[in-house]
Chains A and B, each alone.
Chain A
Protein backbone atom coordinates (compact mmCIF):
# COMPACT_ATOMS: atom_id res chain seq x y z
CA UNK A 1 0.00 0.00 0.00
CA UNK A 2 1.16 3.51 -0.68
CA UNK A 3 2.37 5.64 2.17
CA UNK A 4 -0.75 7.14 3.78
CA UNK A 5 1.07 10.39 4.51
CA UNK A 6 1.96 10.77 0.87
CA UNK A 7 -1.64 10.09 -0.19
CA UNK A 8 -2.69 13.03 1.94
CA UNK A 9 0.21 15.17 0.70
CA UNK A 10 1.92 15.22 4.08
CA UNK A 11 5.31 14.30 5.39
CA UNK A 12 5.64 11.51 7.98
CA UNK A 13 5.07 12.64 11.52
CA UNK A 14 2.39 15.19 10.63
CA UNK A 15 0.09 15.96 13.54
CA UNK A 16 -3.53 14.80 13.80
CA UNK A 17 -4.55 18.37 13.18
CA UNK A 18 -2.56 18.45 9.92
CA UNK A 19 -4.00 15.10 8.87
CA UNK A 20 -7.55 16.28 9.44
CA UNK A 21 -6.95 19.52 7.57
CA UNK A 22 -5.37 17.71 4.64
CA UNK A 23 -8.25 15.24 4.57
CA UNK A 24 -10.79 18.02 4.49
CA UNK A 25 -8.96 19.85 1.74
CA UNK A 26 -8.86 16.73 -0.44
CA UNK A 27 -12.41 15.67 0.39
CA UNK A 28 -13.67 19.02 -0.84
CA UNK A 29 -12.10 18.14 -4.17
CA UNK A 30 -12.92 14.45 -4.51
CA UNK A 31 -16.02 13.74 -2.44
CA UNK A 32 -18.86 12.22 -4.52
CA UNK A 33 -21.09 15.04 -3.25
CA UNK A 34 -18.88 17.32 -5.30
CA UNK A 35 -17.78 15.16 -8.20
CA UNK A 36 -20.94 13.18 -8.82
CA UNK A 37 -20.20 9.75 -10.25
CA UNK A 38 -16.71 10.33 -11.58
CA UNK A 39 -14.99 6.95 -11.11
CA UNK A 40 -11.51 8.48 -10.97
CA UNK A 41 -12.50 10.82 -8.17
CA UNK A 42 -14.26 7.95 -6.38
CA UNK A 43 -11.05 5.91 -6.46
CA UNK A 44 -9.07 8.86 -5.19
CA UNK A 45 -11.58 9.34 -2.38
CA UNK A 46 -11.22 5.67 -1.41
CA UNK A 47 -7.49 6.06 -1.11
CA UNK A 48 -7.86 9.24 0.91
CA UNK A 49 -10.29 7.49 3.24
CA UNK A 50 -8.00 4.50 3.65
CA UNK A 51 -5.07 6.77 4.44
CA UNK A 52 -7.12 8.68 6.99
CA UNK A 53 -8.34 5.46 8.57
CA UNK A 54 -4.79 4.21 8.86
CA UNK A 55 -3.40 7.38 10.40
CA UNK A 56 -6.24 8.39 12.71
CA UNK A 57 -8.22 5.29 13.59
CA UNK A 58 -5.34 2.87 13.82
CA UNK A 59 -2.57 5.22 14.66
CA UNK A 60 0.72 3.70 15.55
CA UNK A 61 -0.69 0.69 17.33
CA UNK A 62 -0.17 -2.49 15.41
CA UNK A 63 -2.07 -4.44 18.05
CA UNK A 64 -5.45 -3.30 16.88
CA UNK A 65 -4.45 -2.83 13.34
CA UNK A 66 -6.39 -5.41 11.46
CA UNK A 67 -5.68 -4.08 8.04
CA UNK A 68 -8.22 -3.46 5.32
CA UNK A 69 -8.72 -5.10 2.00
CA UNK A 70 -6.02 -2.92 0.54
CA UNK A 71 -3.54 -3.62 3.25
CA UNK A 72 -1.12 -6.45 3.34
CA UNK A 73 -2.81 -8.35 6.14
CA UNK A 74 -3.90 -8.22 9.71
CA UNK A 75 -2.02 -9.30 12.74
CA UNK A 76 -3.10 -12.38 14.56
CA UNK A 77 -4.53 -14.38 11.72
CA UNK A 78 -1.56 -14.78 9.47
CA UNK A 79 -1.64 -17.56 6.97
CA UNK A 80 -5.40 -17.77 6.67
CA UNK A 81 -6.94 -17.37 3.31
CA UNK A 82 -9.79 -14.90 2.99
CA UNK A 83 -13.16 -15.59 4.49
CA UNK A 84 -14.94 -15.78 1.19
CA UNK A 85 -12.82 -18.39 -0.47
CA UNK A 86 -12.70 -20.68 2.52
CA UNK A 87 -16.41 -20.21 3.08
CA UNK A 88 -17.19 -21.26 -0.46
CA UNK A 89 -14.94 -24.26 -0.45
CA UNK A 90 -16.42 -25.49 2.78
CA UNK A 91 -19.97 -24.80 1.83
CA UNK A 92 -20.61 -28.37 0.78
CA UNK A 93 -19.27 -30.01 3.87
CA UNK A 94 -20.95 -27.52 6.11
CA UNK A 95 -21.88 -29.72 9.05
CA UNK A 96 -19.17 -29.59 11.62
CA UNK A 97 -19.67 -26.93 14.25
CA UNK A 98 -16.02 -26.00 14.33
CA UNK A 99 -16.01 -24.86 10.72
CA UNK A 100 -18.98 -22.70 11.37
CA UNK A 101 -17.21 -21.13 14.29
CA UNK A 102 -14.08 -20.52 12.25
CA UNK A 103 -16.12 -19.00 9.47
CA UNK A 104 -18.09 -16.78 11.78
CA UNK A 105 -14.88 -15.52 13.37
CA UNK A 106 -13.32 -14.85 9.97
CA UNK A 107 -16.46 -13.05 8.87
CA UNK A 108 -16.27 -10.93 11.99
CA UNK A 109 -12.65 -9.99 11.26
CA UNK A 110 -13.57 -9.05 7.71
CA UNK A 111 -16.49 -6.98 8.89
CA UNK A 112 -14.28 -5.17 11.38
CA UNK A 113 -11.74 -4.54 8.63
CA UNK A 114 -14.40 -3.03 6.44
CA UNK A 115 -15.71 -0.97 9.36
CA UNK A 116 -19.06 -2.79 9.52
CA UNK A 117 -19.14 -3.24 13.26
CA UNK A 118 -22.79 -4.19 13.65
CA UNK A 119 -22.42 -6.91 11.07
CA UNK A 120 -19.34 -8.11 12.92
CA UNK A 121 -21.39 -8.43 16.10
CA UNK A 122 -24.08 -10.28 14.16
CA UNK A 123 -21.57 -12.76 12.80
CA UNK A 124 -20.13 -13.29 16.28
CA UNK A 125 -23.54 -13.84 17.81
CA UNK A 126 -23.93 -16.97 15.67
CA UNK A 127 -21.20 -18.69 17.69
CA UNK A 128 -22.78 -20.67 20.55
CA UNK A 129 -21.68 -19.64 24.06
CA UNK A 130 -19.88 -22.93 24.62
CA UNK A 131 -17.55 -22.24 21.67
CA UNK A 132 -16.63 -18.70 22.56
CA UNK A 133 -12.93 -18.41 23.33
CA UNK A 134 -10.65 -15.55 24.26
CA UNK A 135 -10.34 -14.40 20.68
CA UNK A 136 -14.11 -14.35 20.29
CA UNK A 137 -14.38 -11.99 23.25
CA UNK A 138 -11.53 -9.88 21.90
CA UNK A 139 -13.22 -9.42 18.51
CA UNK A 140 -16.53 -8.73 20.18
CA UNK A 141 -14.86 -6.12 22.35
CA UNK A 142 -13.39 -4.36 19.31
CA UNK A 143 -16.70 -4.34 17.44
CA UNK A 144 -18.56 -3.05 20.49
CA UNK A 145 -16.06 -0.33 21.16
CA UNK A 146 -16.23 0.96 17.59
CA UNK A 147 -20.01 0.96 17.69
CA UNK A 148 -20.15 3.19 20.73
CA UNK A 149 -20.68 0.57 23.45
CA UNK A 150 -17.72 1.00 25.75
CA UNK A 151 -19.31 -0.76 28.68
CA UNK A 152 -19.93 -3.89 26.63
CA UNK A 153 -16.46 -3.62 25.12
CA UNK A 154 -14.86 -3.56 28.56
CA UNK A 155 -16.87 -6.54 29.77
CA UNK A 156 -15.72 -8.55 26.76
CA UNK A 157 -12.05 -7.64 26.95
CA UNK A 158 -11.99 -8.59 30.65
CA UNK A 159 -13.53 -11.92 29.72
CA UNK A 160 -10.93 -12.40 26.96
CA UNK A 161 -8.17 -11.71 29.49
CA UNK A 162 -9.71 -14.04 32.05
CA UNK A 163 -9.30 -16.79 29.48
CA UNK A 164 -5.87 -15.73 28.24
CA UNK A 165 -4.32 -13.56 30.93
CA UNK A 166 -0.95 -13.28 29.17
CA UNK A 167 -2.18 -12.10 25.79
CA UNK A 168 -0.42 -8.81 25.04
CA UNK A 169 -2.83 -7.85 22.27
CA UNK A 170 -5.79 -8.08 24.64
CA UNK A 171 -3.95 -6.16 27.33
CA UNK A 172 -3.17 -3.32 24.96
CA UNK A 173 -6.78 -3.11 23.91
CA UNK A 174 -7.94 -3.16 27.53
CA UNK A 175 -5.58 -0.29 28.36
CA UNK A 176 -6.87 1.66 25.42
CA UNK A 177 -10.47 1.21 26.58
CA UNK A 178 -9.62 2.09 30.15
CA UNK A 179 -7.76 5.20 29.06
CA UNK A 180 -10.84 6.63 27.38
CA UNK A 181 -12.41 7.80 30.64
CA UNK A 182 -9.15 9.16 32.02
CA UNK A 183 -8.46 11.14 28.87
CA UNK A 184 -11.99 12.50 28.87
CA UNK A 185 -11.89 13.52 32.52
CA UNK A 186 -8.54 15.22 32.32
CA UNK A 187 -9.53 17.19 29.23
CA UNK A 188 -12.76 18.16 30.92
CA UNK A 189 -11.19 19.37 34.17
CA UNK A 190 -8.41 21.24 32.41
CA UNK A 191 -10.60 23.12 29.97
CA UNK A 192 -14.07 23.36 31.40
CA UNK A 193 -13.62 24.24 35.04
CA UNK A 194 -16.43 26.73 35.40
CA UNK A 195 -19.47 25.31 37.05
CA UNK A 196 -22.72 25.45 35.19
CA UNK A 197 -25.76 27.25 36.44
CA UNK A 198 -29.38 27.18 35.51
CA UNK A 199 -29.41 30.80 34.35
CA UNK A 200 -26.55 30.06 32.01
CA UNK A 201 -28.46 27.95 29.58
CA UNK A 202 -32.04 28.99 30.15
CA UNK A 203 -31.48 32.62 29.37
CA UNK A 204 -30.54 31.70 25.84
CA UNK A 205 -33.91 30.41 24.97
CA UNK A 206 -36.29 31.16 27.75
CA UNK A 207 -38.28 33.33 25.32
CA UNK A 208 -38.68 30.37 22.99
CA UNK A 209 -39.95 28.20 25.81
CA UNK A 210 -42.49 30.82 26.75
CA UNK A 211 -43.45 31.16 23.15
CA UNK A 212 -43.97 27.44 22.92
CA UNK A 213 -46.18 27.56 25.95
CA UNK A 214 -48.25 30.34 24.51
CA UNK A 215 -48.45 28.60 21.21
CA UNK A 216 -49.56 25.52 23.04
CA UNK A 217 -52.44 27.40 24.54
CA UNK A 218 -53.68 29.08 21.41
CA UNK A 219 -53.21 26.58 18.62
Chain B
Protein backbone atom coordinates (compact mmCIF):
# COMPACT_ATOMS: atom_id res chain seq x y z
CA UNK B 1 0.00 0.00 0.00
CA UNK B 2 1.40 3.40 0.89
CA UNK B 3 3.66 2.82 3.85
CA UNK B 4 2.48 5.72 6.03
CA UNK B 5 1.39 3.64 9.02
CA UNK B 6 4.76 2.81 10.48
CA UNK B 7 6.77 2.86 13.69
CA UNK B 8 8.58 6.01 14.73
CA UNK B 9 11.98 4.62 15.44
CA UNK B 10 13.08 7.80 17.19
CA UNK B 11 10.34 7.31 19.77
CA UNK B 12 10.64 3.54 20.24
CA UNK B 13 12.99 1.66 22.53
CA UNK B 14 15.25 -1.15 21.35
CA UNK B 15 12.88 -3.91 22.35
CA UNK B 16 9.96 -2.30 20.53
CA UNK B 17 11.98 -1.74 17.38
CA UNK B 18 13.16 -5.32 17.47
CA UNK B 19 9.66 -6.68 17.91
CA UNK B 20 8.27 -4.46 15.17
CA UNK B 21 10.97 -5.54 12.81
CA UNK B 22 10.33 -9.20 13.59
CA UNK B 23 6.68 -8.72 12.61
CA UNK B 24 7.67 -6.85 9.47
CA UNK B 25 9.95 -9.73 8.54
CA UNK B 26 7.19 -12.14 9.58
CA UNK B 27 4.77 -10.61 7.10
CA UNK B 28 7.49 -10.73 4.47
CA UNK B 29 8.10 -14.41 5.34
CA UNK B 30 4.41 -15.24 4.93
CA UNK B 31 4.18 -13.31 1.66
CA UNK B 32 7.14 -15.25 0.32
CA UNK B 33 5.74 -18.55 1.53
CA UNK B 34 2.35 -17.92 -0.04
CA UNK B 35 3.24 -15.95 -3.14
CA UNK B 36 6.98 -16.32 -3.71
CA UNK B 37 9.25 -13.43 -4.52
CA UNK B 38 6.44 -11.57 -6.20
CA UNK B 39 4.55 -11.59 -2.94
CA UNK B 40 7.44 -9.99 -1.10
CA UNK B 41 7.28 -7.04 -3.41
CA UNK B 42 3.87 -6.04 -2.16
CA UNK B 43 5.11 -5.77 1.44
CA UNK B 44 4.20 -2.53 3.23
CA UNK B 45 4.31 -1.12 6.73
CA UNK B 46 0.58 -0.46 6.81
CA UNK B 47 -0.30 -4.14 6.88
CA UNK B 48 2.21 -4.76 9.69
CA UNK B 49 0.08 -2.42 11.78
CA UNK B 50 -3.04 -4.39 10.91
CA UNK B 51 -1.31 -7.67 11.70
CA UNK B 52 -0.16 -6.45 15.13
CA UNK B 53 -3.60 -5.06 15.92
CA UNK B 54 -5.46 -8.24 14.95
CA UNK B 55 -2.90 -10.57 16.56
CA UNK B 56 -3.22 -8.71 19.84
CA UNK B 57 -7.00 -8.35 19.82
CA UNK B 58 -7.65 -11.97 18.90
CA UNK B 59 -4.74 -13.46 20.88
CA UNK B 60 -3.21 -15.20 17.91
CA UNK B 61 -0.53 -17.73 18.62
CA UNK B 62 2.80 -16.59 17.30
CA UNK B 63 5.50 -18.50 15.50
CA UNK B 64 9.03 -17.22 15.36
CA UNK B 65 11.72 -18.44 13.02
CA UNK B 66 15.31 -17.32 12.69
CA UNK B 67 16.34 -17.04 9.11
CA UNK B 68 18.46 -15.12 6.73
CA UNK B 69 16.75 -13.49 3.83
CA UNK B 70 18.08 -12.95 0.32
CA UNK B 71 18.61 -9.28 1.07
CA UNK B 72 21.10 -9.68 3.89
CA UNK B 73 22.33 -13.26 3.59
CA UNK B 74 24.98 -12.92 6.26
CA UNK B 75 22.91 -11.72 9.17
CA UNK B 76 20.21 -13.95 10.53
CA UNK B 77 17.11 -12.30 11.93
CA UNK B 78 13.86 -13.18 13.60
CA UNK B 79 10.56 -13.36 11.76
CA UNK B 80 7.40 -13.50 13.86
CA UNK B 81 4.05 -14.31 12.34
CA UNK B 82 0.52 -15.41 13.25
CA UNK B 83 -2.70 -16.29 11.42
CA UNK B 84 -3.32 -12.57 11.24
CA UNK B 85 -0.12 -12.27 9.18
CA UNK B 86 -1.66 -14.62 6.66
CA UNK B 87 -4.78 -12.52 6.48
CA UNK B 88 -2.72 -9.33 6.22
CA UNK B 89 -0.63 -10.90 3.46
CA UNK B 90 -3.73 -11.75 1.44
CA UNK B 91 -5.05 -8.22 1.86
CA UNK B 92 -1.68 -6.86 0.84
CA UNK B 93 -1.81 -8.82 -2.43
CA UNK B 94 -5.34 -7.64 -3.09
CA UNK B 95 -4.47 -3.97 -2.56
CA UNK B 96 -1.26 -4.31 -4.50
CA UNK B 97 -2.97 -5.86 -7.50
CA UNK B 98 -5.61 -3.18 -7.66
CA UNK B 99 -3.07 -0.40 -7.24
CA UNK B 100 -1.16 -1.86 -10.19
CA UNK B 101 -4.36 -1.90 -12.20
CA UNK B 102 -4.93 1.70 -11.23
CA UNK B 103 -1.46 2.64 -12.47
CA UNK B 104 -2.16 0.72 -15.65
CA UNK B 105 -5.25 2.87 -16.24
CA UNK B 106 -3.74 6.16 -15.13
CA UNK B 107 -0.28 6.21 -16.50
CA UNK B 108 -0.21 3.24 -18.83
CA UNK B 109 2.44 1.56 -16.75
CA UNK B 110 2.49 -1.68 -14.77
CA UNK B 111 0.15 -3.34 -17.23
CA UNK B 112 2.31 -6.41 -17.56
CA UNK B 113 3.04 -6.50 -13.85
CA UNK B 114 -0.65 -6.36 -12.97
CA UNK B 115 -1.20 -9.34 -15.24
CA UNK B 116 1.33 -11.32 -13.17
CA UNK B 117 -0.62 -10.75 -9.97
CA UNK B 118 -4.03 -11.41 -11.44
CA UNK B 119 -4.19 -15.06 -10.40
CA UNK B 120 -3.17 -14.30 -6.83
CA UNK B 121 -5.76 -11.56 -6.56
CA UNK B 122 -8.46 -13.81 -7.97
CA UNK B 123 -7.64 -16.50 -5.42
CA UNK B 124 -7.80 -13.99 -2.59
CA UNK B 125 -11.11 -12.68 -3.93
CA UNK B 126 -12.58 -16.15 -3.76
CA UNK B 127 -11.45 -16.55 -0.15
CA UNK B 128 -12.49 -13.05 0.91
CA UNK B 129 -15.33 -11.88 -1.33
CA UNK B 130 -16.46 -9.14 1.08
CA UNK B 131 -13.05 -7.49 1.26
CA UNK B 132 -12.38 -7.99 -2.45
CA UNK B 133 -15.66 -6.33 -3.38
CA UNK B 134 -14.92 -3.37 -1.13
CA UNK B 135 -11.48 -2.90 -2.66
CA UNK B 136 -12.65 -3.27 -6.23
CA UNK B 137 -15.81 -1.15 -5.98
CA UNK B 138 -14.05 1.42 -3.83
CA UNK B 139 -11.13 1.91 -6.17
CA UNK B 140 -13.42 2.09 -9.20
CA UNK B 141 -15.46 4.77 -7.44
CA UNK B 142 -12.31 6.72 -6.54
CA UNK B 143 -11.17 6.45 -10.13
CA UNK B 144 -14.48 7.76 -11.45
CA UNK B 145 -14.43 10.72 -9.08
CA UNK B 146 -10.85 11.49 -10.02
CA UNK B 147 -11.86 11.55 -13.67
CA UNK B 148 -14.51 14.10 -12.74
CA UNK B 149 -11.79 16.09 -10.97
CA UNK B 150 -13.68 15.88 -7.68
CA UNK B 151 -11.84 18.07 -5.17
CA UNK B 152 -13.97 17.38 -2.13
CA UNK B 153 -11.04 16.06 -0.12
CA UNK B 154 -13.08 14.80 2.83
CA UNK B 155 -15.42 12.86 0.56
CA UNK B 156 -12.59 11.46 -1.54
CA UNK B 157 -10.73 10.32 1.55
CA UNK B 158 -13.88 8.67 2.91
CA UNK B 159 -13.97 6.43 -0.19
CA UNK B 160 -10.57 5.08 0.68
CA UNK B 161 -11.58 4.95 4.34
CA UNK B 162 -14.46 2.65 3.43
CA UNK B 163 -12.03 0.26 1.74
CA UNK B 164 -9.67 0.02 4.70
CA UNK B 165 -12.63 -0.16 7.08
CA UNK B 166 -13.76 -3.35 5.38
CA UNK B 167 -10.24 -4.77 5.33
CA UNK B 168 -9.68 -4.14 9.03
CA UNK B 169 -12.73 -6.29 9.81
CA UNK B 170 -11.15 -9.71 9.89
CA UNK B 171 -14.09 -11.52 11.49
CA UNK B 172 -17.32 -10.01 10.28
CA UNK B 173 -19.58 -11.11 13.12
CA UNK B 174 -17.16 -10.53 15.93
CA UNK B 175 -18.10 -8.16 18.73
CA UNK B 176 -15.23 -5.78 17.93
CA UNK B 177 -15.91 -5.60 14.19
CA UNK B 178 -17.40 -2.07 14.52
CA UNK B 179 -14.28 -0.77 16.30
CA UNK B 180 -11.96 -2.33 13.73
CA UNK B 181 -14.05 -0.90 10.92
CA UNK B 182 -13.92 2.54 12.51
CA UNK B 183 -10.15 2.39 12.95
CA UNK B 184 -9.73 1.26 9.34
CA UNK B 185 -12.04 4.03 8.18
CA UNK B 186 -10.07 6.73 10.01
CA UNK B 187 -6.69 5.37 8.98
CA UNK B 188 -7.83 5.05 5.37
CA UNK B 189 -8.84 8.71 5.38
CA UNK B 190 -5.54 9.65 6.93
CA UNK B 191 -3.54 7.68 4.36
CA UNK B 192 -5.46 9.13 1.42
CA UNK B 193 -5.00 12.73 2.57
CA UNK B 194 -1.36 12.19 3.50
CA UNK B 195 -0.64 10.61 0.13
CA UNK B 196 -2.31 13.49 -1.68
CA UNK B 197 -0.37 15.99 0.44
CA UNK B 198 2.98 14.28 -0.17
CA UNK B 199 2.35 14.04 -3.92
CA UNK B 200 0.96 17.54 -4.36
CA UNK B 201 3.96 19.17 -6.02
CA UNK B 202 4.81 16.09 -8.03
CA UNK B 203 1.28 15.77 -9.38
CA UNK B 204 1.20 19.46 -10.26
CA UNK B 205 4.40 19.14 -12.25
CA UNK B 206 3.04 16.13 -14.07
CA UNK B 207 -0.26 17.89 -14.57
CA UNK B 208 -2.27 15.03 -13.10
CA UNK B 209 -5.13 14.90 -10.63
CA UNK B 210 -4.55 15.63 -6.96
CA UNK B 211 -7.48 15.78 -4.51
CA UNK B 212 -6.17 18.74 -2.48
CA UNK B 213 -8.21 21.76 -3.59
CA UNK B 214 -6.42 24.87 -4.82
CA UNK B 215 -5.94 27.25 -1.97
CA UNK B 216 -6.18 24.67 0.81
CA UNK B 217 -3.23 25.47 3.03
CA UNK B 218 -0.99 23.38 5.23
CA UNK B 219 -2.96 24.11 8.38
CA UNK B 220 -6.20 22.88 6.87
CA UNK B 221 -4.59 19.69 5.63
CA UNK B 222 -3.01 19.21 9.04
CA UNK B 223 -6.31 19.61 10.82
CA UNK B 224 -7.96 16.99 8.59
CA UNK B 225 -5.10 14.60 9.27
CA UNK B 226 -5.38 15.29 12.98
CA UNK B 227 -9.12 14.55 12.97
CA UNK B 228 -8.48 11.15 11.40
CA UNK B 229 -5.52 10.24 13.59
CA UNK B 230 -7.33 11.30 16.76
CA UNK B 231 -10.46 9.42 15.75
CA UNK B 232 -8.51 6.22 15.05
CA UNK B 233 -6.72 6.53 18.38
CA UNK B 234 -9.88 7.20 20.35
CA UNK B 235 -11.41 3.98 19.03
CA UNK B 236 -8.14 2.11 19.46
CA UNK B 237 -8.04 3.04 23.16
CA UNK B 238 -11.38 1.32 23.67
CA UNK B 239 -10.13 -2.08 22.51
CA UNK B 240 -8.96 -4.72 25.00
CA UNK B 241 -5.34 -5.04 23.90
CA UNK B 242 -2.43 -6.20 26.00
CA UNK B 243 0.39 -7.47 23.85
CA UNK B 244 1.59 -4.81 21.44
CA UNK B 245 0.06 -1.66 22.92
CA UNK B 246 3.33 0.36 23.16
CA UNK B 247 4.18 -0.38 19.51
CA UNK B 248 0.65 0.28 18.26
CA UNK B 249 0.47 3.54 20.23
CA UNK B 250 3.83 4.62 18.88
CA UNK B 251 2.48 4.11 15.35
CA UNK B 252 -0.83 5.88 15.94
CA UNK B 253 0.49 8.84 17.92
CA UNK B 254 3.86 9.32 16.27
CA UNK B 255 4.82 6.97 13.42
CA UNK B 256 1.99 8.03 11.14
CA UNK B 257 3.40 11.59 11.21
CA UNK B 258 6.90 10.54 10.15
CA UNK B 259 6.45 11.29 6.47
CA UNK B 260 4.56 14.51 7.18
CA UNK B 261 7.43 15.75 9.34
CA UNK B 262 9.98 14.80 6.73
CA UNK B 263 8.10 16.79 4.11
CA UNK B 264 7.96 19.73 6.54
CA UNK B 265 11.69 19.63 7.02
CA UNK B 266 12.31 19.50 3.30
CA UNK B 267 10.15 22.56 2.75
CA UNK B 268 11.86 24.60 5.45
* Residues of chain A having any CB pair with chain B under 8 Å: 19-21, 23-24, 27-28, 33, 45, 49, 52, 56-57, 115-118, 145-152, 180-181, 183-185, 187-188, 191-198, 200-201, 203-205, 207-208, 210-212, 215-216, 219
Contact = CB atoms under 8 A, between A and B. Distances in A.
A192 B250 contact: yes
Interface stretch (B124-132, B134-142, B175-183, B197-205): B175-183
B10 A150 contact: no
B236 to A, nearest CB: 10
B230 A183 contact: yes
13 contacts: A20-B239, A118-B181, A148-B182, A181-B226, A185-B230, A187-B233, A188-B253, A191-B249, A192-B254, A200-B10, A201-B255, A204-B17, A212-B40
Contact of B8 (A27, A152, A187, A200): A200
B253 A196 contact: no
Contacts of B228: 150
Contacts of B71: 207-208, 210-211
B6 interface: yes
Interface in B218-240: 224, 226-235, 238-240
B103 interface: no
Contacts of A187: 233, 253
A105 B216 CA distance: 36
B43 A20 contact: no
Greatest chain A CB density within 10 A among B6, B154, B240 is at: B240
A193 B10 CA distance: 9
Nearest to A216: B41
B140 to A, nearest CB: 20
B108 interface: no
B7 A201 contact: yes
Contacts, number: 146
B154 to A, nearest CB: 6
A181 B158 CA distance: 19
Contact of B178 (A28, A115, A183): A115
Dominant secondary structure of chain A at its interface with chain B: helix
B253 A191 contact: yes
Q: How large is the interface on B (under 10, 10 to 19, 20 to 34, 35 or more residues)?
A: 35 or more
B118 to A, nearest CB: 16
Dominant secondary structure of chain B at its interface with chain A: helix
Interface string B136-176: 00000000000000000010001001000100000000010
B230 A196 contact: no
B161 A184 contact: no
Given A204-B24, A212-B41, A196 B242 contact: no
B257 interface: yes
A117 B11 CA distance: 35
A33 B58 contact: yes
A174 to B, nearest CB: 15
B9 A148 contact: no
A200 B265 CA distance: 14
A118 B166 CA distance: 12
A71 to B, nearest CB: 16
A113 B241 CA distance: 23
Nearest to A187: B253
Given A149-B161, A180-B234, A192-B250, 14 more contacts: A147-B178, A150-B227, A183-B230, A184-B230, A188-B253, A191-B254, A196-B10, A196-B262, A200-B258, A204-B24, A207-B71, A208-B40, A211-B70, A212-B40
B258 A150 contact: no
B106 interface: no
A1 B2 CA distance: 46
